Amino acid sequence: MTLSDIASIEKAFLTPAQIAPIIGASPEWIRWQAHQDQSKLGFPVIVMRSRVKIPKEPFIKFMGGMK
């Protein structure tokens, strides 16, 4: 999955599995870090019990937008 693929997703929120290949981390690590200290990820996340959602537009902005 690429940043272009992410931008074409119609949903407003992404999952750790969708962004993992882009940032070069495992989805499990993203979930773990979101629960431990969200600020260290560098982009906003929403934690709902065991679920982690990533707002699409802020994530794209964090990654430097579309190139």
Could you tell me the residue ranges of all domains in the chain? 3-62
pTM over 0.85: yes
Position 66 scores a pLDDT of 53
pLDDT score of 67: 46
Q: Please say whether the beta carbons of 45 and 34 come within 8 A.
A: yes
Which pLDDT does position 23 carry in this prediction? Answer: 94
In 3D space, the residue among 55, 36, 11, 32 whose CA is nearest the CA of residue 63 turns out to be 55
Give the model's pLDDT for residue 1.
82
Determine the Cα–Cα distance for residues 27 and 17; give it in Å rounded to an integer. 5
pLDDT tens-digit profile, the chain (67 residues): 888 999 999 999 999 999 999 999 999 999 999 999 999 999 999 999 999 999 999 999 999 865 4
